[in-house]
Structure 1
Amino acid sequence: MKNVTLRQLRVFVAAARHMHFGKAAQELHLTPPAVSMHIRELEQQVGLPLFERHGKSVSLTLTAEYLLVYARRVLSTLKDAEDALARFRGLQSGRLTIGMVSSAKYFMPRLLAMFREEHPHIELRVVVANREQLAEQLQGSELDLAIMGRPPRELATRGEPFAAHPLGVVCAPDHPLMRGERKPASALAQFGFVIREAGSGTRSAMEEYLREWRVDPRIDQELASNETIKQMVMSGMGVSFLSLHGIGLELRNGLIGVPDIEGLPLVRSWQVVHTSSKVLSPSAEALRYFVLENGEAYLAREFGGLHPMPAEPVSASSAQAAAAERLRRAARQTPPAPPARPAKPAAPSRRAGSAGRG
């Protein structure tokens, strides 16, 4: 394999992650034929097939599963070397890969845009996946930083809370849960739920709440898309349990309701996470510091002042207004036992210098 190139390994790892040449091409800014060519050349070097083709999708051969372990290790070592050398160059440029759970996509892109205003020469690549998938990518050193609710327990990671993260039950504005006063948790047992897939942080938080309050609701559907779940909920096809940071637009416009349920909202924390063994590059340190310093204030400003439109009947409107007030309160809460904020960078200005590890 002495003639294998790094480009071939990058294409192979991307294709193995997506199990789809077209999606790998989009990630790498290549054409699908170019991806196929690199895979074919790598298979010639290995002397064995790496993928089994099934129409547009593919699956790994046993040979590919073994090769994938070493390919990730090679690319991870190269990235560590790049980050270490970047510390000598300073914070003039860099390339970062940021992973985020799907609930974070409703606020992180704007935070990243604010960061780019201060550091225009840093290239940002975003990966949206569930908590389990992000853990795998952290383990493979495919991510510089990840934004999630809780760091993966199976990895040695450093997670730093930067803002409160409220989660709760959501339903249609005219749903029975929106009528009247505060409902006991046991009231949820009579309604069908549309929930996130196994492996997501939202699903884990929901299961934790249901166990604590000894509720066994009926599960009607399991979906991997927050947007699809919201559409199902708004159309009256069930209730769900979601991040309240993901329903700001719908709540503002009276399209979705947050009923007053015993024990809710469940307040967790948003955290910026990286593996403990990873030496962060100056650009990754700068982004980490930026999120820790600005994330809480941004979320409180963006989600702390929701004023939903009136809804019928009046009781539902009152409950919706109360839900908005609970969301405002949750947005202002401080996550439990956060560590001390990092020390400010030694450089004279955040615009020109790198952030300290804190």
Structure 2
Amino acid sequence: MKGVTLRQIRVFVAVAHHLSFSRAADMLSLTPPAVTMQIRELETQIGLPLFDREGRNVSLTITGEYFLVYARKVLATLKDAEDMVAHFKRVETGRLVIGMVSTAQYFVPPLLGRFCQDHPGVEVSLSVGNRQTLVEQLQRNEVDLAVMGRPSREMATRAEPFAVHPHVFVAAPDHPLVRLGHVPAEALAGYNFIVREPGSGTRAVLEEYWKRHGLTPHITMEMSGNETIKQAVMANMGISLLSLHTLGLELSNERIAIIDVEGAPVLRRWHMANLLSKVLSPPAEAFRYFMLEHAEEFLRQEFGHV
């Protein structure tokens, strides 16, 4: 394996993540044939196949699954080395990898745009997923910082709150619960719920609310994205609990209405999180301070009128 290159390892991790040669090529700004060539050369060096290919279906072999663990460690260690060198250089250039739960994509990009205007030499990568995915990325040291709701209890992290995170019950504007005004929590039990997938922070908040009020809801749909849920709610297919920070456009256009219900809004906090064992690079430290200083005011300006 002396001939294995970092480029081959990066390509392998990308293909393993997407289980698609074409999607990995898009992510790495390469052509699919170039990705295929890198994987073939890597398999030649190892002497065993890393992927099973059946038509367009790609899956890891047993060797590939074990090799992926070490490949991720190699890339994480290299990133730590890059961060160390950046500390010694004391310059605001380098790579910043930010992970965020999908709900945060409604406000992190504009804040990141402001940050990049002040730090044009920083190369930024964004990774979006649900809470469970983000926790796994932190554990594997694949992200420098994570923007999330509930801090992780699975590992030693520094989690700093930077803004209030309200969750509200929503329905179509002509829904009966909207017309009734303030209703007790028990009133929700008779209606269909559209919910996020297990592993998401929003789903956890909703389940905590149900448990606190002794409710057994009727779940009719389970979806992995806020946008799809909003479309279903607007179509009057059910009610849902969503982060207020996902609803700016729909509330302004009166496409969705907030249900005035007992115990809502459910207030949580947004957090900036990173592994305690990780030495943050200057760009990561700069973005961390930027979010702690500016994010709460930005969210207040965007949603304070609701």
Report the alpha carbon displacement of residue 151 of structure 1 after superposing the two structures with TM. 1.8
Could you tell me how far apart the structure 1 residues matched to 2:212 and 2:27 are?
Answer: 41
What is the correspondence of 1:33-52 to structure 2 with a 5 Å cutoff?
33-52=33-52
CA shift digits 1:219-250 (9 cap, x unpaired): 11111111111000001011111111001110
Equivalent-residue separation in structure 2 for 1:33 and 1:243 (angstroms): 42
Identity %: 58
Q: CA deviation at 1:304?
A: 1.0
Instruction: Tell me the equivalent position of 1:63.
Output: 63
Paired position in structure 2 for 1:240: 240
Shift of the alpha carbon at 1:55? 3.5
Structure 1 segments (4+ residues) deviating >6 Å: none
Which has a greater percent of strand? 2
The Cα of 1:26 is off from its aligned counterpart by: 2.0
Distance 1:135 1:256 in 2: 31
Which residue pairs with 1:290 in the alignment? 290
Amino acid at match of 2:72: R
Evaluate the alpha carbon distance shift between residue 52 and residue 240 of structure 1 in structure 2; reply closer, same or farther with a 3 A threshold. Answer: same
SS of corresponding position for 1:199: coil
CA contact (8 A) 2:181 2:259 kept: no
Matched, 1:129 2:129: yes
CA distance in structure 2 between the aligned counterparts of 1:198 and 1:132, rounded to whole angstroms: 9
Q: 1:150–1:159: 8 Å Cα contact kept in structure 2?
A: no
Letter in structure 2 aligned against 1:17: H
1:142 pairs with 2:123? no
Measured against aligned partners, the alpha-carbon deviations of 1:67-101 in whole angstroms (never above 9, x if no partner) come to 11111111111111110110011133111111111
Structure 2: where are the runs of 5+ without partners? none
- How many Å apart are 1:203 and its aligned residue? 0.7
Distance 2:54 2:189 in 1: 42
Rounded Cα–Cα distance in structure 2 between residues aligned with 1:71 and 1:193: 42
Paired position in structure 2 for 1:73: 73
> CA 1:214/1:114 → structure 2, altered by over 3 Å: closer, same or farther?
same
Task: Give the counterpart letter for 1:157 in structure 2.
Answer: T
What residue is the counterpart of 2:214 in the other structure? 214
Cα distance, 1:256 vs structure 2: 0.2
Instruction: Report 1:87-106 matches (<5 A).
Output: 87-106=87-106
Report how far residue 56 of structure 1 moved: 2.9
CA distances 1:16-47 after superposition (whole Å, capped 9, x unpaired): 11222222222222222222221111111111
1:336 alignment counterpart: none
- Residue 196 of structure 1 aligns with an amino acid whose one-letter code is R
| AA aligned opposite 2:237 | M
Return the offset for 1:142: 0.8
Paired letter, 1:238: G
The match for 1:190 is 190
Q: Distance in 1 between matches of 2:159 and 2:57?
A: 35
* Deviation of 1:53 (Å): 2.1
Distance (Å, rounded) in 2 between the aligned partners of 1:300 and 1:12: 43
- On the 8 A contact 1:245/1:303 being kept in 2, the answer is yes
Following TM superposition, by how much is the alpha carbon of 1:181 offset from its aligned partner in structure 2, in angstroms? 2.5
8 Å contact from structure 2 (residues 92, 282) kept in 1: no
What is the rounded CA distance, in whole Å, between the counterparts of 1:297 and 1:56 in structure 2?
47
Please say which of residues 109-118 and 180-189 is displaced more in the overlay: 180-189
Partner of 2:178: 178
SS of the residue aligned with 1:38?
Answer: helix
Report the count of equivalent residues: 306
Partner of 2:257: 257
CA distance, structure 2, for counterparts of residue 255 and residue 140 of structure 1? 40
How far off is 1:54 after superposition? 4.0
The alignment's C-alpha RMSD in Å is 1.1
Q: What is the identity, as a one-letter code, of the residue corresponding to 2:70?
A: Y
Per-residue deviation, 1:139: 1.1
* Contact 1:188–1:217, Cα closer than 8 Å, also in 2: yes
1:157 aligns to 2:157 (yes or no): yes
Q: Are positions 1:202 and 2:205 aligned together? A: no
- Counterpart CA distance in 2 for 1:119 and 1:303 is 27
Question: Using the alignment, how far apart are the partners of 1:196 and 1:243 within structure 2?
Answer: 11
**Which residue pairs with 2:25 in the alignment?**
25
Say whether the 8 Å CA contact 1:21–1:57 is kept in structure 2: no
- TM-score by length of structure 2 reads 0.97
